[in-house]
Amino acid sequence: MKHATTAGPIQHAEESVQKWKENGGRVVGYTCSFLPVEVLNVANVLPARLRGTGVSQADIGDTYFGPYICSYPKCILQRAGSGQFSYLDGVIIVPGCDSMRRLDECWRKAGEDFQDIVPDFFFHFGVPHKAADHSKAWFSSEIERLMKSLEEHFGVSIGEDDLRQAIARYNQGREMLARLNDFRKASVNTLSGEEAFALSVAGNLMPRDEYTRYLGEYMDEVSGRKPGLYNGKTRLMVAGSVSDDLQLIGMAESLGGVVAAENLCFGQRHEGDLIGEDEDPISAMVRHYLDESLCPRMMGGYQTRLQFLKEKIEEMEIDGVIFQNIRFCDLHGSENAIFERDLEAMGIPCVRIEREYGALADTGRLRMRLEAFMERMT
């Protein structure tokens, strides 16, 4: 197993995508955790969540998006424009937020200037902001539209039983990720936040069966570790907007903390919530993706999300919470401020960080703030 370093799972996942492709498999990139990936699994298409990491220039992203917008979709477009996604057989834009919705039009527009960056299968998958009956009906029709489109484009058939099996396959991984958190509990404390997060990010890329196997082997190895490996460290939670790099968590852990929980888009949120396997698969997916979402894009769910954080803080014995959001993220930026207000009022120390997506910039000031935050709790 390649997990000698904390980045091992992500590296392994990237290699898996490459191998899948080399073996003639089809890969479709997508942008948001609201995509029912189970559908793609049935179509024998690998859903690989698009990442914008490793970008060192922003000329393409800035040209089509302009400056005052989240840097995550800009980095994705930068990579697309540079030809780094040329291996994709398709792209599904899921408008988790308005910046991500704009990625659809910016990518298409960039396609007029950069050759072959828009694959033939380029699908806009709508997701409602409410979990009301009428929005569920719409989401259901969007899933059906996606299925039909996949069937037509890739010449596959997506049957009900196949969907149930895919749901069971994904549920298995969700259950394992929930169990992975047991290693992070204060009474066990054998898994670092960096490792746990890397494993979660890997799950957004790797073929599902391989991921489940990999996760199982990893957990076997972790269960052999001596309990209390991270005892004596300040127990932290990292929450907020999209993040798929290990550096922020790594920095917090290098300063004497252990990130024992997270509520991040690429990381773990509500992994214990499974999709019903004994009911109509589309209705079950609709319920899971809309009702159980903990993303601030869903209207009217603040109290549920606050309650979730409180329960996680209690269960994982968290000393303090780091809220982070990518600059210009209205959804997380505003919700983080309210979370901070409410949790501080309960005596839970919080710090709020606004940053750019990708490799940590401004590390000097960021480090100073994290260090001062840790000092506050010691």
Q: How far apart are CB 265 and another protein at their closest, in Å?
A: 21
Residues 6+ apart with CB under 8 A from 272: 174, 175, 178
The binder of another protein chosen from 344, 346, 359, 361 (CB under 8 A): 344
Comparison of 64 and 357: residue with beta carbon closer to another protein: 357
Distance of CA 324 to CAs 171, 310, 350, Å? 28, 17, 11
Alpha-carbon distance of 191 to 346, in angstroms, equals 28
Interaction between residue 369 and another protein (CB under 8 A): yes
Interaction between residue 376 and another protein (CB under 8 A): yes
Quote the tokens at residue 265.
């888009």
Interaction between residue 372 and another protein (CB under 8 A): yes
Select from 32-40, 176-184, 202-210, 360-368 the region that touches another protein (CB under 8 A): 360-368
Comparison of 92 and 318: residue with beta carbon closer to another protein: 318
Backbone φ and ψ for 237, nearest 5 degrees, come out as: -120, 140
Q: How far apart are CB 369 and another protein at their closest, in Å?
A: 6
Select from 152-160, 163-171, 189-197, 365-373 the region that touches another protein (CB under 8 A): 365-373
Q: How far apart are CB 377 and another protein at their closest, in Å?
A: 10
Residue type, 250: G
Q: How far apart are CB 148 and another protein at their closest, in Å?
A: 46
Comparison of 91 and 239: residue with beta carbon closer to another protein: 239
Quote the tokens at residue 231.
């005892």
The burial of 292, by beta-carbon neighbours within 10 Å (0-12 exposed, 13-18 middle, 19 or more buried), is given as middle
Quickly list DSSP for 23-85: TT-EEEEE--TTS-HHHHHHTTEEEEE---TT----HHHHHHH-SSS-HHHHHHHHHHHTTTT
Alpha-carbon distance of 8 to 229, in angstroms, equals 20
Q: How far apart are CB 328 and another protein at their closest, in Å?
A: 11
Interaction between residue 375 and another protein (CB under 8 A): yes
The binder of another protein chosen from 36, 238, 353, 357 (CB under 8 A): 353
Select from 194-202, 278-286, 312-320, 364-372 the region that touches another protein (CB under 8 A): 364-372
Select from 26-34, 90-98, 203-211, 370-378 the region that touches another protein (CB under 8 A): 370-378
Interaction between residue 364 and another protein (CB under 8 A): yes
Left (φ > 0), alpha (ψ -120 to 50) or beta: where does 300 sit? left
Q: What does the binding site for another protein look like in residue numbers (CB under 8 A)?
A: 344, 353-355, 364-365, 368-369, 371-372, 375-376, 378
